[in-house]
Each structure stands twice: as C-alpha cells, then as structure tokens.
Amino acid sequence: LNPIGLFWIHINYIREVYPRPWDKSAQKLVAFLFGIASHMVSDVSWHSLNIDQGFLKAMGEVCIYKSGDVLSRYELNFDYLEAEWYIPVKDLFNIYKLYYGKTIIEESTITHFECILFCFKLYPTLHSTYASKSPFLVERFQEYFLGGIDDMAYWSTNIFQLTSFMLDNGTSECYLPENPIFIQCNTERREKNINAMDAMNMKGIFAGQYPNHITSPSTSYFVSSPYARLGWAMTTADLNGDGHDDLVVGAPGYSTLGHVQIGRVYIVYGTESGLPLAEIDLDKHANGLLEGFENSGRFGSSLAVLDFNLDGHLDLAVGAPSVGSQVHVFGNSPSPAFTYCNLGWTLLAADMNKDRKKDLVIGAPYAPGGGKQRGLVAAFFSCSSRKGSLSAEESDWSVSGEHDYAWFGYSLHTYAVRNHTLLLVGSPTWSTCKSFILFGVLSIPLVTPPSFEQSKLGSSFASGVISLNKRRKRILLIGTPTKIAILSRQLHHAGTASVYELKSRSAPSPLSTLSGDRAYARFGAKIHLDDLDKDGLDEIIVTSPLRNDGTLTMLGAEAGRVYIYNGNARTPGYLTENCKSWVSPCPEDWAQYVLISPEVSVKHISSFPPE
C-alpha cells in the first residue's frame, strides 16, 4: 500500500464526486482526509518510515519501546472526541476500489477495523504500566525534535495547508514523493503569508493545606499564543545598564498566522524594587521582544548572556535548535550579529580559556558526533573580531559523546575549582540510560557516581554554598529524575537529587540524597541553588514536574511542585533519610517552602535562570 498514492486518489475522488458547495457527507469525508494527512506525518516521524532516528527508532535505541497511544490519552486533552464516530465507509470502499482497480477490502472489514481503533479511549488506565518501562516516552513525548508531538504538529499544519491547496486546485501542480513530509505545490495562487517579524520592540503567598505550601503566585506573565511554552528557558542579566537585573524569557513554541513554532524571546526590565508585580501580557507590554523567522525553528529554546564581541556591552545568545539548528547572538541591534549552525539545545556562558571573560558554550545532544545522536559540546571564545555565520566545525574547542544516543551535551554547568573552570556535561542516556559523564576542561579526574538503570543521571546540575551544622560547604547537586525510590514498595521514576561536597584537592564526595515521594514525579528534573534570602548561603531548589496528590497517577492529577530548602541547615534533617512523618521519602518535611502549581496537568517547572 502506497499511502501517497491513496492520498492522491482520495483528493481527486472528492473533487470528482462532490462538487462545491459541499454537503455534509462531503464535509465529513474532507475531515477524514485531514486525519489521514496527519497520520501520514506520524508514519514518517513517529514510526520512522523512510527516515532514521524517528521517535520510535530513537526510543528503541535509548531504552525500550512501549505504547505512545497510552501516553497521549493520559497527557493530552481528548474531550473534543464525540461518543459516536462517523466513518465514511462507502466512500472509503470506493476509494480503495479505485486504488486497487478491483474490490480488495469489503465495507464490513473497514467497519470492523474502525471499531478496534475506537477502543483506544480506554488506554489512560494503562499509563503506569507503560511509563515505568520507558523514561524516553514520557519525557520526550512532546519535545523530541523528530517525531515528538510538537514536531508532528508543525508538519501536520504544513501538510494541512497543502491538502487545502490540492482540494481547491487539484494535484497537477504538486509533487507527491513517497515521503509525505516533502510534498511540494506551486502555491503562488495562495494568499501570501504574513512576514515573520524580525525586530526588537524597545519601550523605554497564599496558604495551602500545609503552612509551607504556596499555591498562588505574587504575579504572572503570560502571552496570548496557545502552546507557546513560555518560560521554557529563562535567564537574568542587566541588559539595559541601569544596575538592575532584567528577566529574559523564551517561548519556543510561539506561533503566528502562517508561521508555526517560530518562537519568541521577551525581555522584562527590573528596577530597584525588582521585577514588575502586575499581571503582564508580554506580547503587549514586554520591554523587549525578539522573534524567530524559521518555521519550527523554536527560537528561544535556550538562552545565555555574555559580552561575546568584547565591546563592553552584554550580548544575548538565543538557541533555535529545531529546523536549521542555529544559535543567534544579538548585540545592540535587533538583527543577530552572529549565527552558529547545527547547535542550540543548551547554552552556557563560562570562561573556557582562562582569560577571565565568559565564552559561549553550546550543547547539541542530538548531533551525530561520529555516530547517531552521540551529542556534541562546542565552545566559541569571546573575541572582538567575531562576526558573521560560523559552523560547529569552526569552534575553538569541542568534544563529542562516546556512544550512539548518549545525548552528550543535554545539560551543562560550570563551577570554579583551583582557579580553573570545571565543565560538567550531562549525558543522561549514556550506555542505555545508565550513567553520565563529568568532564573536566583541564586535567580534572573523571567522576561517575553510582547509577541505576533508566535513572537519567546528569539530567541537571547545580552548585553553590550551604551551611551544614554551622560549617560552610560548597556542594554539587546532580539530578536523577527517573531513579526508583524505595518506600513500602518501589516508586518508579520518583527521582532524586544527589548532594556532593566539592573540595579543592579531591573529587566530589557524596553527602546525601533528596528523594521524591510519588511515582513518576520526576523529582530532580531541574535543580538550582541561589541565595534567595540574601544571607550569603544558597537555597536548594528542586522541581518535581509530574508530582501529583496521590500515590496513584490519575488522569489530570499532575500539578507539579517546587521544593525550596533553606541554605542554613541548622538541623541536617533534609540531608539525611530521617523524616518527621512516618512516611519516607519525605521531601516536604524539611522544605521551607513548597510551590504548588495552581493548574493541573502543568509540568511545573521547566527552567531556572542560571546561577
């Protein structure tokens, strides 16, 4: 069966059998055709037909293959589905007959298979069974660059536009290759798309059921575009030179009419009293706005601030890692001064060449690296002569992953040791989900903490200073968001954040481990250390984006939590396995604050500003 051939016959059948204006039967058949179009996209990018490294292929390489239908029914909203389905059985029978030149499939067979497909509405109850087997499926379901929901949404939108053109004008002006992703039409008669904006518009605690629960924010910033993923990346820096830090927020899923997932970056200026506390529509009131120009480029996926051209002014680096895979560096102009290709999943500003000036470090976990998705980390040294477009091959320093699908460069972090920079590179799927690599830029010993299958060790890093029993300690936190926690039973993918003491003349030594208390909660997905109360000590901040209120994962129960632990640990409770309550693990017992998302099905939080 050639799907493209059947698709071509379907379009011409509608044009010949159902003249305009369409009656209800024709409208239903057209709706069914659009469903076929979107399924052709999933055949390519999800099922990896005619391509390599599609979703199921990558999932099989990284961990294990299990049901995506179950997860989609669990995570996504299917309330729009009617209790009764209409199947254009007679039209489908005629279309198949035209395709084969004879009767191959009876009407009763078509009806039977459609009834089987209807049964997938029962799949949410199987979520825990499948989620425990495949961290890749749960975590990359929406974001994976080739076959994730976001990627398929873009290509479905594209093929919908081409399908509409063919229904209006026929297929004679279109090229229909075997791979439907590459369908092309002479669309000059179509309305021109709105040009993508490429400019910067410069304009001058409520209590929950526990006393430490915070369930309502002081304020919120929002945008009008659905699925914009506002807050996917954030950073802070004094961009306008007034002595106060400003907030930079990425929205890589932002779309406008005719331009899907081009992405945006918003800038909100800080003042002496901090950031504005008003509810702000960033599309209207952000102090600065940058917009991507490549469909499905996901501009704003990563951010970093540094003086890249050494002109005395801070520059903003923005990653657009999807189509084109680029990093753009903006200075005082609304147009990028530098562009780096095939990069941009993670960005970091760090001194890599010992000149006391921050350089641009770029992670590309899906880069080939000499194999398939081994990953790559590249550094471009800050220099006054930087200009134009450069490729990864022109970097000043680079290193690749060691194994296929290792995702080397998934996360990046630095800290200073003995007046040198130590670069930590996460490779959470190294050796089939078992380990990560701690890589020293200089001659620093390789450190590989104990790991467990599918724990995704190295998904996130943070470092800072806390006080433990009145002794200051410099610590390193490493997230393992899919590690199993042990209670009275195993809690699959509850997650942990491992705490290590950093010493100047020896390798990091383990202090303790913070653990999640709910299955599939992903405790430790993002971790951060920052001095929130200005006492000279850093608070430990750990996210649990899929945490729910019960030990059983129920549909719609995910609210997500953020745990904040005071940096002045007068009692070492949260750095031990001791609990105030009879239940262990107990991440809430020792938390100073617990931030709880006011909305369900919100993966709270996806990013932190860098230290």
Q: How far apart are CA 545 and CA 608, in angstroms?
A: 13
Residue pair 255/225 in contact by the 8 Å Cβ criterion: yes
- Could you read off the pLDDT of 150-198 as tens digits, one per residue? 888 888 888 998 999 999 999 888 888 878 888 888 765 443 332 322 2
Domain boundary among 165, 183, 201: 183
Instruction: Copy the structure tokens of residue 103.
Output: 């009767």
Output the pLDDT for position 578. 66
Q: How far apart are CA 304 and CA 494, in angstroms?
A: 30
Output the pLDDT for position 87. 82
- Could you read off the pLDDT of 316-360 as tens digits, one per residue? 999 988 766 788 888 766 666 556 555 788 999 999 988 889 999
Helix/strand/coil (H/E/C) assignment for every residue in 151-174: HHHHHHHHHHHHHHHHHHHCCCCE
With respect to residue 22, please indicate whether it lies within any of the assigned structural domains: yes
Instruction: Copy the structure tokens of residue 361.
Output: 């470090």
Q: How far apart are CA 530 and CA 609, in angstroms?
A: 10
- The residue among 185, 120, 174, 145 whose CA lies nearest residue 55 is 145
Domain boundary among 167, 183, 199: 183
Is-above-0.85 flag for pTM?
no
**List of the chain residues with pLDDT < 70:** 1, 61-83, 110-135, 137-139, 187-210, 323-324, 332-342, 430-455, 485-489, 548-559, 570-585, 598-611
Q: Radius of gyration (Cα) for the chain, nearest Å?
A: 26
With respect to residue 402, please indicate whether it lies within any of the assigned structural domains: no
With respect to residue 228, please indicate whether it lies within any of the assigned structural domains: no
With respect to residue 493, please indicate whether it lies within any of the assigned structural domains: yes
CA 190 vs CA 159, 161, 187, 257, 344: distances in Å: 14, 10, 5, 14, 33
DSSP of 471-503, one letter per residue? EEEEEEEEEETTPPEESSSEETT--EEEEEEEE
Which letter, b or e, does each residue of 313-351 get, where b requires 16 or more Cβ atoms within 10 Å of its Cβ?
A: ebbbbbbbbbbbbbbbbbbeebebbbbbebbbbbbbbbb
CA 446 to chain CA centroid, nearest Å? 28
Domain count, the chain: 2
With respect to residue 390, please indicate whether it lies within any of the assigned structural domains: no
Between strands 471-480 and 280-281, the pairing is: unpaired
SS3 of 175, please?
strand
- The residue among 295, 300, 301 whose CA lies nearest residue 258 is 295
Q: How far apart are CA 156 and CA 178, in angstroms?
A: 16
With respect to residue 601, please indicate whether it lies within any of the assigned structural domains: yes
Alpha carbons within 13 A on the beta-carbon side of 520: 29
With respect to residue 55, please indicate whether it lies within any of the assigned structural domains: yes
Q: How far apart are CA 608 and CA 231, in angstroms?
A: 9
- φ, ψ of residue 307 to 5 degrees: the values are -90, 85
With respect to residue 391, please indicate whether it lies within any of the assigned structural domains: no
Residue pair 135/454 in contact by the 8 Å Cβ criterion: yes
Domain boundary among 133, 154, 183: 183
Output the pLDDT for position 194. 28
- Could you read off the pLDDT of 506-517 as tens digits, one per residue? 778 888 888 888
Range of 535's domain? 449-611
